[in-house]
Chains A and B, each alone.
Chain A
Amino acid sequence: MATLTLPATLVELNDEGFFLHPEQWTEEMVPELARQAGIEHLTDTHWQVIRFMRKEYPEKGAGPSVRVLGKTSGVSIKELYEVFPTGPAKTAARIAGIPKPRGCI
């Protein structure tokens, strides 16, 4: 059997652990990024939020806030906090390889 070792990707992060270059992100990185964020088991809900963030970022130029996620991602605020207890928008943005959403609400 032929084997091939693919090169590991070196990703640059800022001080808070967010991707400096969102274009470096691939879906294959998600399980490891999630583990780094303390999420061992990725559910469909996690994926739904992560993919939503990934879609919103290029369209809006920023990641959505928790409130926007609650209104538009199809996952309620209650559920968002259940699956991302360390802060839904922040954690999902980190896993989705996009900058930290800014905004006070």
Chain B
Amino acid sequence: MATLTVPDTAAAAPPRIEKVSIIISKGSLDGVYPGLIMANGARAEGIQADLLFTFFGLDAIHRSRHEHIKIATVGNPGLHLATWLGGVPGMSSVMTHYLASKMEKLDIPSIPEFVEMIADTGAKLYACKASVDLFGLDRSDFIDQVEDVITVGEFYDKAAGWQIIFT
């Protein structure tokens, strides 16, 4: 029979994060991935996670748009690209393509695959009603994994006692 030496962590261990609600509000590649990585990482750690997509973040769960999410090459100083160059037609596509190939090498899933995977982990996906109304969308515009279109009040009800992360 095996015996285990259990480490003494009971003393003053800070409380563990148990539930996170992650809001994705941006529709660019660099705006969407961090929230997805946070949600997926939470589930991998056994932390419960929900995702709320709002404003342009809705594109990440939009049936026809989620495959075409691009990195912004204008107004994105992190790219270290001259503004005039970032504005050259097609530059956003070129940079997105470049980044996608790098991500593929690192085995990072595409946005549609990633969102589906996160839904499979048991995380619930919600769309923000105000944004859905603003953009003239409805439930049928979204991928099947989306649980519901909810109001901000419903969001807070669901997130009661959870950590909320806004991206």
* Chain A interface residues toward B at CB < 8 A: 6, 8-17, 26, 28-29, 32-33, 36, 65-68, 70, 76-78, 81, 85-91, 104-105
Q: A67-B109, A77-B121, A104-B37 are in contact. Are A10 and B44 (CB under 8 A)?
A: no
Residue B5 at the chain A interface, CB threshold 8 Å = yes
A11–B43 CB distance below 8 A: no
Name 15 A/B residue pairs within 8 A (Cβ), A-sorted.
A10-B5, A13-B7, A29-B2, A66-B43, A66-B44, A68-B107, A76-B120, A77-B121, A78-B120, A78-B121, A87-B45, A104-B37, A104-B41, A105-B40, A105-B108
Residue B1 at the chain A interface, CB threshold 8 Å = yes
Give residues 88-135 of B contacting A (CB, 8 Å): 106-109, 117, 120-122
* Chain B interface residues toward A at CB < 8 A: 1-7, 9, 37, 40-41, 43-46, 106-109, 117, 120-122
| Residues of the A chain whose Cβ atoms lie less than 8 Å from the Cβ of B107 | 67-68, 105
- The main secondary structure of chain B at its interface with chain A is loop
B7–A65 CB distance below 8 A: no
Q: A77-B117, A87-B46 are in contact. Are A105 and B2 (CB under 8 A)?
A: no
Q: A11-B2, A77-B120, A105-B108 are in contact. Are A87 and B7 (CB under 8 A)?
A: no
Would you list the 7 A-B pairs with minimal beta carbon distance, nearest first?
A86-B46, A87-B46, A77-B120, A29-B2, A8-B3, A78-B120, A9-B2
Closest to B45 in A: A87
Q: How far is the CA of A77 from the CA of B109 in the complex (A)?
A: 14
B7–A15 CB distance below 8 A: yes
Q: How far is the CA of A64 from the CA of B34 in the complex (A)?
A: 21
A81–B120 CB distance below 8 A: yes
* Least Cβ–Cβ distance between A32 and chain B, in angstroms: 6
| Residues of the B chain whose Cβ atoms lie less than 8 Å from the Cβ of A81 | 43, 120-122
B44–A11 CB distance below 8 A: no
Q: How far is the CA of A51 from the CA of B122 in the complex (A)?
A: 24
A28–B6 CB distance below 8 A: no
* Least Cβ–Cβ distance between A10 and chain B, in angstroms: 6
Q: A78-B120, A105-B108 are in contact. Are A87 and B43 (CB under 8 A)?
A: yes
Contact pick for A15, options B9, B45, B117, CB 8 Å: B9
